[in-house]
Amino acid sequence: MLKVQTGQIIEFYSNSCCVASASKEFKCTIQGRINLVVGDLVEFKIIADDDTKQGLVTKRLNRVTALYKSKEKVKKPIAANISHIGILVTQNPKTNLEFIDKWIIISKNASIEPFIIFNKIDLLQDDAFNEIQKVYENIGIKNFQISAKLFTNIDELKKYLYKRTTIFVGNSGSGKSTLTSALTCKKILSKALSNNQGVHTTSVSTLYYAKEMQIIDSPGVRDIGIDHLKPNEIILGFPEIMDYSLNCAFPNCSHQIDEGCAVMAALKNGDIEESRYNNFIFLSNQEKSK
């Protein structure tokens, strides 16, 4: 009888996976129709413990967290058991604030801690990100200013990621692969896009272990939709707006033109950042229109 082991999926393919267990890695097939993604904890049977290291995944264990992408309001998991999402922000390619706010929404709804990484600071003036930094510091979002290419402030980021499982998100060319390489000391393969939009990694989702931290690199998270989220879930990504909304005169306030709207009053007083308010309204109305 084959002995059941526990392990974690560190690479996931279309119908097979690589499972790490007790400092060994096993190439595994999957029994039945188990829904698996990189980061999942699983039970598996060792079929061969020789040089081939073969196994059979028989069960997925409970997920602490899961990151989903959605299309036409159908959710599909793309990574599991993540504790933090690092949102990469760059000037070239330019990261818009809607991208940042959308990922904060996604993080909060998945019970994952978001933080911001301002990358490529070696190419900019020292105060280039200050205005954006203040906006998100005011709502309690941790941030770092780094150059992944030159390893600037990488040690500070490593301390923050200690004993955490993190996935990085950002536009093509924002430096996700370069940053993952800098943190893990492993060469992350990437290839240039044909339309000069930057670089992207191969199609395999991978979890890297490195000095008491885990980094998930997945090509499926460059940008994902939020059409499965309702307005009362979208507002979770805007805690400052949610706090003021509790003081609105009516519980079904649209926070746009309603009389007695505490959110509009806070916006006029400068207590809510205009860019954050605009993105809240845009993303909320985008969901309603579907």
CA distances from 122 to 50, 127, 146, 147, 215 (A): 48, 12, 8, 6, 24
What contacts 24+ positions apart, CB below 8 Å, involve 135-139? Answer: 135/97, 135/273, 135/275, 135/276, 136/100, 138/240, 138/273, 139/239, 139/240, 139/276
pLDDT in tens, 162-220: 999 999 999 888 999 999 999 998 887 654 443 444 444 446 889 999 888 999 988 76
For the chain, the average pLDDT equals 89
Q: What is the CATH number of domain 4-60?
A: 2.40.50.140
Residue with tokens 């959710």: 75
Architecture of domain 231-288: Orthogonal Bundle (1.10)
> What's domain 66-221's architecture?
3-Layer(aba) Sandwich (3.40)
Q: Where are the domains of the chain?
A: 4-60, 66-221, 231-288
Share of the chain above pLDDT 90, in %: 70
pLDDT of residue 203: 62
Question: What is the mean pLDDT of the segment spanning 241-261?
Answer: 92
103-126 pLDDT, tens digit each: 999 999 999 999 999 999 999 888
Whole-angstrom Cα distance, residue 145 to residue 275? 21
What's the pLDDT at 200?
A: 41
